[in-house]
C-alpha cells in the first residue's frame, strides 16, 4: 500500500496454532523513531506476535507493514532491514565473539567495525574462548551486538532483559535509544514494563492473544 504511513503498521494480524488463536486480530502503529513495549502474562501472544512480524511465522490473517510494504510479501528483501533478538540467540557455539560477528557480517554482507560492536555491548573483543563458555548474560550481549550490526529499520526484542544484570539492562535501554535516534522502530516484548518505560513511549498489552491496551 503506497499510501500507508511510514513506520510499523500492524493491521488486523492473527495467528493460530490448530484451533487456538495465539494472537487474535491485533492492530496498532508505531511511528519511525519510536519504541513500543508489548506486555502481558505468559501465553498472551507476545512472542508469537514478534515472530510473525520477523517473518519467522506466517500470519493466518491480516498483515504487518514496514514503511508501507507488506513484510511477509517482501520478506526476502525486508529481512535485511529487520533485526530480531529472540530467546534463541543463534550464535555459533564453537566460535569466539569476534568470529561470530565476522561470520554474520560475511553472511549478511554487512560492513561493520566488529571490535567496536563487541566493546559497545560490554564484552572484550580480545577474548577468544568459544561462546559455549559464555554466561547467559554474555550471550544476550553478543546477540545484541549482532542486531546492532544490521543497523535495522525495525528492531524486535523478545524479553531483552532476561539473564542480564542491572548494567546489562541499562545497556539495552541505551541501545534502544540509539536505534530510535536513527528513525528506526523498536518493538519490545517484556515482563519489565517499569524498566522498559525508560525507553518506550508506546505500550500495547495482550491478554489471551487479544489486544487490551494500544
What digits encode the pLDDT tens for the residues 88-120? 778 999 999 999 999 999 988 888 899 999 999
Task: Count Cβ neighbours within 10 Å for each residue of 15-44 and write b for 16 or more, e otherwise.
Answer: beeeeebbbbebebbbebebbbbbbbeeeb
Quote the CATH superfamily of domain 8-91+146-213: P-loop containing nucleotide triphosphate hydrolases (3.40.50.300)
Cα torsion 35, 40, 46, 49: sign: negative
Per-residue pLDDT reduced to its tens digit, 153-172: 999 999 999 889 999 999 99
* Cell triple for 65: 507493514
Task: With a cut of 50, say whether residue 1 has pLDDT above it.
Answer: no
For the chain, what are the domain ranges? Answer: 8-91+146-213
pLDDT at 213: 61
pTM for this entry: 0.93
- Copy the grid coordinates of residue 24: 487474535
Q: Over the stretch 50-91, which tens digit does the pLDDT of each residue have?
A: 999 999 999 999 999 999 999 999 999 999 999 999 987 789
Amino acid at each position: 500500500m503506497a499510501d500507508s504511513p511510514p513506520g510499523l503498521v500492524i493491521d488486523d494480524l492473527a495467528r493460530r496454532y490448530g484451533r487456538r488463536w495465539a494472537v487474535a486480530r491485533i492492530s496498532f502503529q508505531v511511528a519511525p523513531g519510536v519504541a513500543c513495549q508489548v506486555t502481558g502474562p505468559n501465553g498472551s501472544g507476545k512472542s508469537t506476535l514478534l515472530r510473525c512480524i520477523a517473518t519467522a511465522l506466517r500470519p493466518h490473517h491480516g498483515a504487518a507493514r514496514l514503511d508501507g510494504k507488506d513484510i511477509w510479501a517482501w520478506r526476502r528483501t525486508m529481512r535485511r532491514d529487520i533485526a530480531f533478538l529472540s530467546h534463541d540467540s543463534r550464535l555459533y557455539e564453537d566460535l569466539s565473539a569476534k568470529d561470530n560477528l565476522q561470520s554474520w557480517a560475511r553472511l549478511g554482507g554487512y560492513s561493520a567495525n566488529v571490535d567496536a560492536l563487541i566493546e559497545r555491548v560490554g564484552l572484550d573483543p580480545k577474548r577468544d574462548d568459544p561462546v559455549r563458555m559464555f554466561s547467559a548474560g554474555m550471550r544476550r550481549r553478543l546477540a545484541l551486538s549482532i542486531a546492532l550490526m544490521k543497523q535495522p529499520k525495525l528492531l524486535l526484542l523478545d524479553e531483552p532483559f532476561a539473564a542480564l544484570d542491572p548494567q546489562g539492562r541499562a545497556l539495552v535501554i541505551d541501545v534502544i535509544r540509539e536505534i530510535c535516534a536513527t528513525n528506526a522502530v523498536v518493538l519490545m516484548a517484556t515482563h519489565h514494563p517499569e524498566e522498559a518505560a525508560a525507553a518506550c513511549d508506546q505500550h500495547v498489552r495482550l491478554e489471551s492473544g487479544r489486544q487490551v491496551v494500544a
